[in-house]
């Protein structure tokens, strides 16, 4: 080695070392874009709680880097979504966006993430397109696709001997995709969806539609609602007397995080979801105990998804030595990981959506109790994803 070359090498090594120690001192900027107001406010809070709890369990650092948080209340309003996500990307220059709950808002976020290359981890919104036609190397989901939680309920409804079903939901991507998923499972098993009822998001004036259901007398009703809207719908359905003769089914959002408020109205309801209360594993028990201790609240599926978003970020950052700029290393590590979730272990599909067990649950008191695994290791079909 020439003397000059040796000097250059020494300078380069020193620069790299000081660069990486400077980087280690800089915080990773995480931007929460979540609903902190409106019908989905409680869901946003649970996601943030879960995320922060996982970071705290890792000693406050992921991949050796402390976290600096930024927050935007997206109000579950798709019309404001592009401006809101650009606040995080352009104004705050975050390294990672964690969001959101509402599928319509999430689609605008996925577009912005794809264009800017910013890492996006979706901790709830099930928009099929996010891990379908909009899939991208920098977009990951710690939750589910709308199809994935509803298709199994169609299979279950048919197994319960139901021949006809009506559906009722908000008219936006999540409701429409959940209904399509249920319909696919139900009709392939011999059932028939006779009518699809909708109302605008987040409207909760259900009375006229409940009257229509009562007149039509289907064997079952399938519905997608969540948050405060789910509380009101389940109570209205019960108060109308319909629950005595026509069982109300849905993806588990209908009864998750809502049972305190729904009380008697939800008892005995069957739903399908990738989480249930008291799964009986040591992993879940530790999560639930810590969550209850930290927040004086019982965790729900949204808290789990926030917690797992932080676990996924931790995996990527650890592999990349804390440098999120090492995009391929970051991405490959998450793609290859098995995430030890409170819901049970899961891996990611090629489109970056969890491949996971979907449980059949029954409401018993204040819990969504697991009855069985409705579909094991269910992967979203990721229609339209080219990656
Ligand atoms: C959604 O918009 O994708 C969604 C919202 C709440 C619960 C589940 C899905």
Give me the number of domains the chain comprises.
Answer: 2
Are 130 and 189 contained in the same domain?
Answer: no
Residue 57 CA to residue 180 CA, distance in Å, equals 39
- Ligand 1 center to 32 CA (angstroms): 16
Record the tokens describing residue 232, joined without a space. Answer: 């009101």
The reply to whether 10 falls in a domain is no
- Ligand 1 center to 263 CA (angstroms): 22
Are 117 and 34 contained in the same domain?
Answer: yes
The reply to whether 6 falls in a domain is no
Are 253 and 329 contained in the same domain?
Answer: no
Are 83 and 181 contained in the same domain?
Answer: no
The reply to whether 17 falls in a domain is no
Ligand 1 binding pocket mutation candidate from 109, 253, 271 (most atoms within 8 A of CB) = 253
The reply to whether 12 falls in a domain is no
State the greatest distance between any 2 C-alpha atoms of the chain, in Å, as a whole number. 92
Are 127 and 198 contained in the same domain?
Answer: no
The reply to whether 79 falls in a domain is yes
Residue 121 CA to residue 245 CA, distance in Å, equals 42
Residue 328 CA to residue 295 CA, distance in Å, equals 36
The reply to whether 366 falls in a domain is no
Residue 4 confidence (pLDDT)? 43
Atom of ligand 1 nearest to the CA of 125: 3
Are 168 and 249 contained in the same domain?
Answer: yes
- Ligand 1 center to 232 CA (angstroms): 16
Residue 18 confidence (pLDDT)? 47
Paired sense of beta strands 192-199 and 367-378, if any: unpaired
Are 322 and 206 contained in the same domain?
Answer: no
Are 103 and 133 contained in the same domain?
Answer: yes
Record the tokens describing residue 314, joined without a space. Answer: 């931790």
- Ligand 1 center to 226 CA (angstroms): 7
The reply to whether 41 falls in a domain is yes
Atom of ligand 1 nearest to the CA of 302: 7
CATH code assigned at 175: 3.40.50.2300
| Domain-ending residue, one of 255, 273, 291 | 273
Are 151 and 268 contained in the same domain?
Answer: yes
CA dist list (Å): 313 to 178, 213, 273: 28, 45, 23
Are 207 and 115 contained in the same domain?
Answer: no
Ligand 1 binding pocket mutation candidate from 44, 124, 300, 301 (most atoms within 8 A of CB) = 124
| Domain of residue 218, residue span | 147-273
What is the phi/psi pair of residue 170, to 5°?
Answer: -75, 145
Residue 11 CA to residue 97 CA, distance in Å, equals 36
Ligand 1 binding pocket mutation candidate from 176, 226, 300 (most atoms within 8 A of CB) = 226
- Ligand 1 center to 115 CA (angstroms): 24
Are 161 and 201 contained in the same domain?
Answer: yes
Is residue 220 within 8 A of residue 249, CB to CB? The reply is: yes
Residue 25 confidence (pLDDT)? 74
Q: Which contiguous run of DSSP H or E holds residue 107? A: helix 103-116
Residue 278 confidence (pLDDT)? 82
| Domain-ending residue, one of 273, 298, 322 | 273
| Tally of CA atoms within 13 A in the half-sphere of 56 that contains its CB | 12
pLDDT means over runs of 10, the chain (387 residues) = 44 46 81 98 98 98 96 98 98 98 98 98 98 98 98 98 98 98 98 98 98 98 98 98 98 98 98 96 98 97 98 98 96 98 98 98 98 98 94
Are 209 and 114 contained in the same domain?
Answer: no
Residue 20 confidence (pLDDT)? 57
| Domain-ending residue, one of 238, 273, 308 | 273
Burial class (CB in 10 A: 0-12, 13-18, 19+), 86: middle
Paired sense of beta strands 61-62 and 65-73, if any: antiparallel
Atom of ligand 1 nearest to the CA of 251: 8
Ligand 1 binding pocket mutation candidate from 38, 81, 144, 146 (most atoms within 8 A of CB) = 146
The reply to whether 370 falls in a domain is no
DSSP lists the bridge partners of residue 167 as: 196, 222
Q: Which contiguous run of DSSP H or E holds residue 146? A: helix 146-159
């Amino acid at each position: 080695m020439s003397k000059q070359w040796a000097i250059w090498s020494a300078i380069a090594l020193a620069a790299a070392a000081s660069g990486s120690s400077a980087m280690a001192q800089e915080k990773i900027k995480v931007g929460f874009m979540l609903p902190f107001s409106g019908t989905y406010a409680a869901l946003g809070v649970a996601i943030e709680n879960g995320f922060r709890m996982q970071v705290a369990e890792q000693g406050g650092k992921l991949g050796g880097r402390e976290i600096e948080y930024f927050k935007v209340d997206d109000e579950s309003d798709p019309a404001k979504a592009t401006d809101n996500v650009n606040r995080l990307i352009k104004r705050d220059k975050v390294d990672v966006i964690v969001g959101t709950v509402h599928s319509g808002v999430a689609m605008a976020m996925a577009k912005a993430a794809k264009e800017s290359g910013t890492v996006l981890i979706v901790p709830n919104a099930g928009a099929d397109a996010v891990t379908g036609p909009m899939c991208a190397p920098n977009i990951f989901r710690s939750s589910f696709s709308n199809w994935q939680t509803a298709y199994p309920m169609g299979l279950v409804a048919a197994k319960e001997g139901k021949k006809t079903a009506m559906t009722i939901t908000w008219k936006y991507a999540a409701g429409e995709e959940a209904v399509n998923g249920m319909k696919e499972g139900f009709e392939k098993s011999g059932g028939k969806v006779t009518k699809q009822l909708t109302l605008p998001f987040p409207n909760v004036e259900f009375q006229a539609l409940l009257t229509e259901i009562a007149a039509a007398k289907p064997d079952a009703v399938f519905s997608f609602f969540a948050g405060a809207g789910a509380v009101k719908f389940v109570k209205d359905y019960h108060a109308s007397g319909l629950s005595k003769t026509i069982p109300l089914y849905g993806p588990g959002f209908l009864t998750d995080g809502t049972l305190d408020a729904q009380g008697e109205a939800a008892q005995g309801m069957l739903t399908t979801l990738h989480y249930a209360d008291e799964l009986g594993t040591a992993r879940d028990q530790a999560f639930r105990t810590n969550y209850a201790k930290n927040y004086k609240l019982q965790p729900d599926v949204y808290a789990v998804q926030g917690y797992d978003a932080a676990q996924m970020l931790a995996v990527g950052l650890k592999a990349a030595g804390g440098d999120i700029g090492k995009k391929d290393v970051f991405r490959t590590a998450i793609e290859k990981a098995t995430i030890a979730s409170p819901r049970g272990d899961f891996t990611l599909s090629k489109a970056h959506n969890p491949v996971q067990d979907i449980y059949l649950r029954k409401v018993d008191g204040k819990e969504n109790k697991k009855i069985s695994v409705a579909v094991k290791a269910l992967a979203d079909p990721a229609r339209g994803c080219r990656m």
